[in-house]
Chains A and B, each alone.
Chain A
């Protein structure tokens, strides 16, 4: 048996064992973490090895006599597998101290079981080699993650999240199935091999349906509605895996469909690029409007999916307009951002998790000043934030840099491709600025300043596994940011299995780029050191004292006077008011002895708003109109039968 399957088996065993241990909390947790962690580690090493060797591997199983379940691994799969296993490993380790309610022992073991199922099914999705295997793993992935989402089913919000998630994943799966159905209609086989030879209309249809299906899993606007509900609802290590890894499986699907179709029309690139820009900008705008920490991170995932899609879209445009360099840069940048985002987004979710566990609240308006007592969490969270803003010398910059380079290659093209490249570049810039605003807000409000409520006062950060599992991705954020060589090389390798028709992609131009990034990052670090040294020198033998913050003359400051998260974002959001309407609740003060009043504001997601108004309500209305069919009168029931006969007899 291949190591890959061995690791999957270990993971499943690690998930199933806790079910049998059940009530003995510590033993159960140890077994789960050890099993799942070991499996993930093995899988990660194995697929990393396969990625570096460019080893292809495939295995086929007979299924229900008629089908075969084909699993095969090329460098694209291996690239995603590394991410899946690595992040799952980190999350698993984290969970040991995060899942800390012995009262919920059994539920926790169930959670571990579905977690292991989720990891395995994700790994199977990215290796699936035919429709049956793909759909099977895809649906198991959806179902198992649903159970993870409703782990805390007691709150109505989480139930709603679970429901939305379930419905969206079903609709998405149906859309993918439609795409596969059309494909099967042309080729008559469950494999993907013949997809290159079908008609163009068929290819376009397949791609559109697949894009909707995969896009709804990846959280592409406007199919992202479930995402900001579902990701925060799950326990934080699960959120990390869902946001960091699971939505990337949707990206994988888009790439895979693109590669099997062998159809290099500009249409696909335009579609993906526009979807990416819209998701990117709106995602970060909504993120800016959230006051729930985990919801904010979830919306930021929408944004990052947008960035990834911009990269892929630029790649596709590059392919269609015969610009190999642009194509490879776009795809590689997108893929690298997949890896980067999985690192810093899981890091941020884990950070949010530790905040949630220690303070008991997810509302950023109730937090503040956590940095003082939670040094490691604060520092790693800061690194994650810097990385997610795409700032050098962190990993986020590297991915975006490649995408930019690809996009600027597209500037030399004509007409539509030019216009789209231009828009892609400008929206990347805007996204960058907005996410800087968004994450400076998070860091500033949550970790800095003074505690805004008692919940945030005097918290520690006990829980070694949690801290370790945050330090590791943080280290990788810096590592990739400074030495991206290996990682860019793997991304380019993954691109080469997209079958763009370039044969072996030469690595040298990319290595030069990497060298530049490394040098620039090193330069930055060097200058930083110098300035730090200078600063130390300047402070030699100087009096340094501490006192309260300067209140500009006001001498009685309270913590409530601090700037809030919503006021921080308010003016930016005003700019985006047409797409991010703000709902305010503020009873006016009336009468001589006015009642206590309050002010509440929330930012609405137009996709969610219009989904209710334009889709759900008409459907409900329509079907409610038809309720008279079942009116209870037997005479008309018999009439239906007669009617059916009479109508049919006309066709005889």
Chain B
């Protein structure tokens, strides 16, 4: 039987791989929005007892992760009107290959740990995938906006680990974390705008003056 969670997680992994190779920012943002929705929905299917609080919290998460965060970045793109693509440090095809290798290695490495049996088999791999994709984007993209997207992806990955494992976490705490992430993205968005205004570009090559 095909469990909806399997589908969701597979799609998440796929989307992550896609973002390795994606060169267009709008596409990347859409992928991110999808990930946000998918990731927020996972707790619903894991089969803890449902409370009305839990459901409403899941919905809030979904709105924030799936709509507000991607939208705010999208608005920045709109506002600053990116005309030119910035070449990444590692090319798109090479990124894809590197990404695959990293994900396999990380999944293999995670078996070193004693994983609770109740965990869904795909969960950890997909979380790790998201994490690594995020960090990979952060490290290889010269485009500042892509870096912020990488950060958000990483956060999604951590959220995926968190919601699954930490059953005890109170919703209010979860909400606090979410709020932090949201505020962080907002601030990054503002910084992005300022970068664009100051340098007329979002290439991080401009941001290398402070050094020894």
Interface residues of A (CB under 8 A from B): 627, 629-636, 638-639, 642, 649, 652
- Nearest chain-A residue to B151 (Cβ)? A638
> Closest A-chain residue to B142, C-beta based?
A635
B150 to chain A: closest residue by CB: A638
Write the nearest CB–CB distance from A325 to chain B, whole angstroms: 63
Q: Is B211 close to A, CB under 8 A?
A: yes
Please name all residues of chain B whose beta carbon is closer than 8 Å to the beta carbon of A629 when the two chains form the complex. 212
Interface assignment of B14: CB less than 8 Å from any CB of chain A? no
State A291–B204 Cα separation when bound (angstroms). 60
Q: Roughly how many angstroms separate A629 CA and B211 CA in the complex, as a whole number? A: 9
Is there an interface contact between B209 and A638, defined as CB atoms closer than 8 Å?
no
A287 to chain B, nearest CB (A): 43
Would you call A635 and B210 a contact (CB within 8 A)? Answer: no
CA distance A631 to B212 in the complex (A): 6
* A631 touching B89 in the complex, CB below 8 Å, given contacts A638-B135, A642-B135: no
CB pair B212–A642 under 8 Å, yes or no, is no
- A630 and B211 in contact (CB under 8 A), knowing A635-B89, A635-B140, A635-B204? yes
Decide if B208 touches A633 in the complex (CB within 8 Å): yes
Interchain CA distance A202-B40 in the complex, whole Å: 63
A642 to B138, CA, bound (A): 11
Residue of A nearest to B113 (CB): A652
> Shortest beta-carbon distance, A614 to chain B, in Å?
26
A638–B140 alpha-carbon span in the complex (Å): 10
Which residues of A have CB within 8 Å of B211? 630-632
Which chain B residues numbered 160 to 186 have a C-beta less than 8 Å away from chain A? none
In the complex, the number of residue pairs spanning A and B with C-beta atoms less than 8 Å apart equals: 33
**Beta-carbon contact of A638 and B139 below 8 Å:** yes
The answer to whether B209 and A632 have CB atoms under 8 Å apart is yes
A633–B139 CA distance with the chains assembled, in angstroms: 10
Task: A495 to B212: give the CA distance in the assembly, Å.
Answer: 56
The winner among A629, A631, A634 for most chain B CB atoms within 10 A is A634
Return the chain B residue nearest A631 by Cβ. Answer: B211
List chain A residues, Cβ under 8 A from B109.
Answer: 649
Can you give 5 A-B contacts (C-beta < 8 A)?
A630-B211, A631-B208, A632-B211, A633-B204, A633-B208
B112, B138, B212: which contacts A635 (Cβ < 8 A)?
B138
CB of B207 within 8 Å of the partner chain: yes
- In the bound complex, what is the Cα–Cα distance between A652 and B109 (angstroms)? 12
Q: How far is the CA of A627 from the CA of B211 in the complex (A)?
A: 9
CB pair B208 A630 closer than 8 Å: no
- Give CA–CA (A638, B144) in the complex, Å: 13
A632 touches B208 (CB 8 A): yes
Whether B204 lies near A630 (C-beta < 8 A) is no
CB distance from A643 to the nearest CB of B (A): 11
Is the pair B212, A630 in contact by a Cβ cutoff of 8 Å? yes
Chain B residues lying within 8 Å of A649, measured Cβ to Cβ, are: 109
Within the complex, the shortest CB–CB distance from B108 to chain A, in Å, comes to 13
Chain B proximity of A516: nearest CB distance (Å):
69
CB closest residue in chain A, given B136 = A642
Collect the chain B residues with CB atoms within 8 Å of residue A638's CB: 135, 138-139
Determine how close the nearest CB of chain A comes to the CB of B79; give it in whole angstroms: 23
Min CB–CB distance B101 → chain A (angstroms): 14
Question: Complex formed: what's the CA distance from A631 to B210 in Å?
Answer: 8
List which B89-123 residues lie within 8 A (CB) of chain A.
89, 109, 112
When C-beta atoms are compared, the residue in chain B nearest to A649 turns out to be B109
Q: Count chain A CB atoms within 10 A of each CB in B139, B142, B209 and give the residue with the most.
A: B139
- Name A630's closest neighbour in chain B (CB-CB): B212
The answer to whether A632 and B204 touch (CB under 8 A), given A638-B138, A642-B135, A642-B139, is no
A-side contacts of B138, CB under 8 Å:
635, 638
Residues of B within 8 A of A631 (CB): 208, 211-212
B204 touches A634 (CB 8 A): yes
Q: CB-CB < 8 A to A634: which residues of B? A: 147, 204, 207-208
Contact status B139-A632, CB under 8 Å: no
| CB-CB nearest in chain A for B138 | A638
Minimum CB–CB distance for A646 against chain B, Å: 10
Chain B residues with Cβ below 8 Å from A632 are 207-211
- Per-position binary interface string of chain B over residues 137-163, scored 1 when its CB falls under 8 Å from any chain A CB and 0 otherwise: 011101000010000000000000000
Bound CA–CA A638/B212 (angstroms): 17
What is the minimal beta-carbon distance from B161 to any residue of chain A, in angstroms? 15
